[in-house]
Structure 1
Amino acid sequence: MLPTVRLVLLSLVFISQMHAADIPVDPDFTVDKLLGEWTGVAAASNSPMFMKKKEQMKTEPVTKYWMDGANLISSTAFRTSKGCKTRKVILKEAEKGRYTYTGKGESRMSIIRITPTLCLEHTITTMPNGNIYFNLKLYKKGAEPPKEMEKFTEYALSLGLKKENVVFFEKGEKCPSN
């Protein structure tokens, strides 16, 4: 029983440090760089839901960002075994390059890096029960996969994720994003 208690305590210390860490934001971020349609290249997470659905995450999801008044809207279309699904989120700007939204928990999204053809997003979600999860997403614009795919895995591993927490999407029939 004692090793289990130690493991739980070490996990709590790790998670609290991870949550407290200030995630860097791309200093050149502007919202107009994020607007438009992006194709998912890779994702990584320590969320149990992510791990449960990981096997269904095969083809590249399509994410669109657009403005609706002061709100940034994100709509992601992805293929499942039952067909196309869409997830829409209203993002509130917290500060330059950082957005918050509420879903199953309170989430804080940071744009770590953005270029005309690449976007790296890091989200920390605090669940009502106190559990903290993080999600990484790598997007591209254009046909070529970004050279940063290996760096994406390195970054995920540096956060304490394992290789099985990382998914690279395959090319395939995409779902239309609205």
Structure 2
Amino acid sequence: MAAQGVLWVGLLLLGVSGVPQTQAKDQDTLQPYFQPDKFLGPWYSVGLASNASWFLEKKNVMSMCKTTVAPSADGSLNLTSTFLRKNQCETRAMQLQPTERPGRYNYHSPHWGSIHSVSVVETNYDEYAVLYTQGTQGPHQDFRMASLYSRTKTLKDKLKEDFAAFCKSQGFTEDSIVFLPEPADKCINEPE
């Protein structure tokens, strides 16, 4: 149970929002001319979709988390997320290693012992970002997740609609898409 919580938090850290011009399935869909310096700063995880069974079981109890993206000296991105877990605020950190393609990163999952590919599919940097993650969980289990990030805790309906359409274009079903509520605590409202 705790391992699943750590996993979804790590994967939640990978998410961001937007609507790609083409499908992420083709592995070539990335934000054109991705600028990591504009991607830095605070984001809220506001939407998720996944094919993982643990996600479908937990999606109704998940809430929004705040993630801060900061640069690392080696060119990687450090993501630090604060979220509510068991009525307490927790913080987790992870590092996305850059690949040869701007906007594509690798994340080593300590839980699964596998590498996940994380792509920034689309972002306007000031309002939303969409991330697409794929890899494996356990022996030969395909894992996919789409994440919608927002600079604010509220989203325009059009962004929600576009994110849902993107998720469906990636093969996610309606019941695997969730928009996360703001937690009833101060975890994501605390100053940086």
1:109 paired residue among 118, 132, 135 = 118
* TM-score scaled by length of structure 1: 0.80
Pick the aligned partner of 1:175 from 143, 162, 187. 187
Tell me the matched-pair count.
160
Is 2:161 the counterpart of 1:150?
A: yes
Change (3 A) 1:55 1:23: farther
Q: Give the structure 2 partner of residue 12 of structure 1.
A: none
Paired residues for 1:119-158 under 5 Å: 119-142=129-152, 144-146=154-156, 147-158=158-169
Question: Following superposition, which runs of at least 4 residues in structure 1 exceed 4 angstroms of deviation?
Answer: none
**Percent identical residues:** 25
CA distance in 2, matches of 1:174, 1:162: 32
Segments of structure 2 that go 5 or more residues without pairing to the other structure are 1-22
Partner of 1:164: 175
1:84: Cα distance to partner?
Answer: 2.3
For CA contacts below 8 A with separation 6 or more, give which structure has more relative contact order.
Answer: 2
Matched, 1:61 2:65: yes
Larger Rg: 1
Partner Cα distance (2:96, 2:170) in 1:
24
Q: Deviations over 1:135-156 (max 9, x none)?
A: 1111111354143110111111
Contact kept, 8 Å, 2:153 with 2:182, in 1: the verdict is no
Q: Is 2:44 aligned against 1:73?
A: no
Structure 1 vs Structure 2 CA RMSD? 2.2
